[in-house]
């Protein structure tokens, strides 16, 4: 065999033998009930955004690399860089906030209340079942413009409350952790943290929700060169958490109010608490001095939403010794879904970033916003709703034919005409694409799709100008178990009335699709 023949054979073997059909690590396909649930999450969030006057925008999925550089602190290493294409060096967007700031600067937009729902990309170590992915959706709501202090911030926090109280299974099961960058920076100054280490020490403090103090202290001292005494003094402050009394406690400390940054931050928080009392958000709020948010662009109030499952499971010291820890892997691409030291993380996060737009245009525009992590919200919502029946489609009516024997035609034209009649009326309808379907198969299809109603056509009924309307899933003994005859001319009106009433709860399947 010649070299050319060997080459072709080798290439063919490589193509068939080594090619693997799979999604890239940290990504997944979506289908079936998962899509339905995710769409309901989108719908709930979007409804709240619109209720508060949000207008939507869209930006490219990739940005010039220089646009993203220097905005994310230590997380910059997670940015996906793209190959040079025609002399432009680009990267996939890491979040929706920096592209929004670029949009404001480029279009000289001074005031906007915008929302944006789109995919973002991070080359992080994935944990797929916990909603930690490399390609995932964010739903952002931001208010840009100069307004009186803390009013936009209060409305953003009200948006957070409305979103999570609108999601299935979330009411009463979430906490909004909040802090203020100026308070935190002031505390670091009081404790003696060098100015050039404040951001990196903030990143270490932010890990206290998932790592014990001893580990965070070791990072500060051994890895980041902080004096041990300074680290211990920081610990005295970052343990503080609670309601609005935390603001009062800090305002009563002379060394705190003597620091201009901390004093200003506490004044902001006091005003914000007054506004949140009016908006009925205080019961969901936890003022937490350990919340730091690692991103560099935050300048004021910062917050994140946590729930059961956000943090890794906590075990006692004795149990931790006995528990078999997972082997640490040097592979940054390995999925960590089974790692007990890893939780889902925060399900939403944001804050005030008054200087980010100015980095692009030189003209600062005050901004504050929130970003909802849909995939993390999805993973927790799905786990909480394991017994709930989810309809895979929005179809309300299945048109079928009843009959048999050699003379049965299948009534295909009649089924098509009835489907058209219902479509014209805006009723979501399907029928089987077979000329002579078996009625048992038709019922199976409708039941599998969770379709609540059937319109049944029969030769005898059609001769009388009637069809049978049947609500699927009724209990034995129900007076309408076998359906009711209605005039074909009145079918649309009858169906609309019954759909509006929702009929009996015994047959109603929760419709968790987007209306």
Residues making up the binding site for L-histidine: 95-97, 122, 138, 142, 293, 297-298
> What is d(CA 375, CA 135) in angstroms, rounded to the nearest whole number?
9
Helix H or strand E encompassing 188: helix 181-191
Task: Say if residue 193 is exposed, middle or buried (CB neighbours under 10 Å; 0-12, 13-18, 19+).
Answer: buried
> What is d(CA 304, CA 308) in angstroms, rounded to the nearest whole number?
14
CA pseudo-torsion sign 48, 392, 478, 484: positive
Beta strands in 209-319 (DSSP E): 241-242, 285-288, 301-307
Contact 145, 359 (CB under 8 A): no
The gap between the terminal CA atoms of the chain, to the nearest Å, is 64
Helix H or strand E encompassing 317: helix 317-322
Which residue from 169, 171, 175 is spatially nearest to 378, judged by alpha carbons?
Answer: 169
Residues at the binding site are 95-97, 122, 138, 142, 293, 297-298
303-333: burial string, b at 16+ Cβ within 10 Å, e else: bbbbbebbebeeeeeeeeeeeeeeeeeeeee
Contact 345, 329 (CB under 8 A): no
For residue 230, the tally of other CB atoms under 10 A from its CB is: 18
CA pseudo-torsion sign 188, 189, 190, 192: positive
For residue 197, the tally of other CB atoms under 10 A from its CB is: 16
Contact 294, 74 (CB under 8 A): yes
Which residue from 506, 509, 474 is spatially nearest to 391, judged by alpha carbons?
Answer: 509
Per-residue HEC secondary structure of 372-425 comes to EEHHHHHHHHHHHCCCCCCCCCCCCEEEEECCCCCCCCCCHHHHHHHHHHHHHC
Per-residue HEC secondary structure of 124-164 comes to CCCEHHHCECCEEEEEEEEEECCCCCCHHHHHHHHHHHHHH
- The CA–CA distances, whole Å, from 338 to 30, 124, 211, 343 equal 21, 16, 18, 10
Q: Which DSSP state fits 261?
A: H
């Amino acid at each position: 065999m010649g070299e050319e023949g060997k080459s072709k054979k080798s290439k063919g073997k490589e193509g068939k033998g080594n090619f693997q059909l799979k999604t890239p690590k940290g990504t997944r396909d979506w289908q079936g009930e998962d899509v339905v649930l995710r769409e309901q999450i989108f719908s709930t969030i979007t409804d709240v955004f619109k209720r508060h006057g949000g207008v939507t925008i869209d930006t490219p999925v990739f940005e010039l690399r220089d646009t993203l550089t220097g905005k994310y602190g230590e997380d910059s290493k997670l940015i996906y860089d793209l190959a040079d294409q025609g002399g432009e060096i680009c990267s996939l967007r890491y979040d929706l906030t920096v592209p929004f700031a670029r949009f404001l600067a480029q279009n000289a937009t001074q005031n906007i209340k915008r929302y944006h729902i789109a995919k973002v990309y991070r080359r992080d170590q994935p944990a797929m079942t916990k909603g930690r992915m490399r390609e995932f959706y964010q739903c952002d709501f931001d208010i840009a413009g100069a307004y009186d202090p803390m009013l936009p911030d209060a409305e953003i926090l009200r948006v957070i409350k409305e979103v999570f109280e609108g999601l299935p299974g979330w009411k009463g099961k979430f906490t909004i952790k909040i802090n203020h960058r100026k308070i935190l920076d002031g505390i670091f100054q009081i404790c003696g943290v060098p100015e050039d280490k404040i951001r990196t020490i903030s990143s270490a403090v932010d890990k206290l929700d998932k790592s014990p103090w001893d580990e965070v202290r070791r990072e500060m001292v051994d890895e980041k060169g902080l004096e041990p005494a300074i680290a211990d003094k920081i610990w005295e402050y970052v343990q503080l958490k609670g309601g609005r009394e935390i603001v009062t406690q800090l305002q009563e400390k002379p060394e705190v109010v003597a620091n201009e940054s901390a004093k200003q931050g506490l004044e902001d928080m006091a005003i914000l608490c007054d506004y949140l009392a009016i908006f009925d958000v205080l019961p969901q709020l936890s003022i937490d001095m350990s919340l730091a948010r690692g991103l560099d662009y935050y300048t004021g109030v910062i917050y994140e939403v946590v729930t059961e499952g956000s943090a890794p499971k906590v075990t006692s010291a004795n149990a931790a010794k006995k528990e078999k820890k997972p082997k640490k892997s040097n592979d940054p691409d390995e999925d960590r879904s089974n790692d007990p030291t890893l939780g889902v993380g925060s399900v939403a996060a944001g804050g005030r970033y008054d200087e980010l737009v100015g980095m692009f245009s030189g003209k600062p525009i005050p901004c504050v916003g929130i970003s909802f992590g849909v995939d993390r919200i999805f993973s927790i919502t799905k786990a909480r709703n394991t017994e709930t029946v989810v309809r895979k489609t929005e179809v309300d009516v299945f048109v079928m034919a009843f009959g048999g024997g050699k003379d049965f035609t299948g009534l295909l034209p009649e089924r098509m005409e009835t489907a058209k009649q219902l479509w014209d009326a805006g009723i979501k309808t399907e029928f089987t694409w077979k000329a002579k379907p078996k009625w048992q198969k038709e019922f199976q299809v409708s039941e599998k799709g969770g379709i609540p109603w059937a319109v049944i056509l029969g030769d005898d009924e059609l001769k009388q100008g009637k069809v049978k309307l049947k609500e699927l899933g009724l209990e034995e003994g129900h007076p309408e178990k076998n359906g009711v005859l209605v005039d074909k001319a009145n079918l649309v009106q009858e169906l609309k009335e019954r759909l509006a009433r929702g009929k009996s709860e015994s047959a109603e399947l929760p419709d968790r699709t987007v209306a």
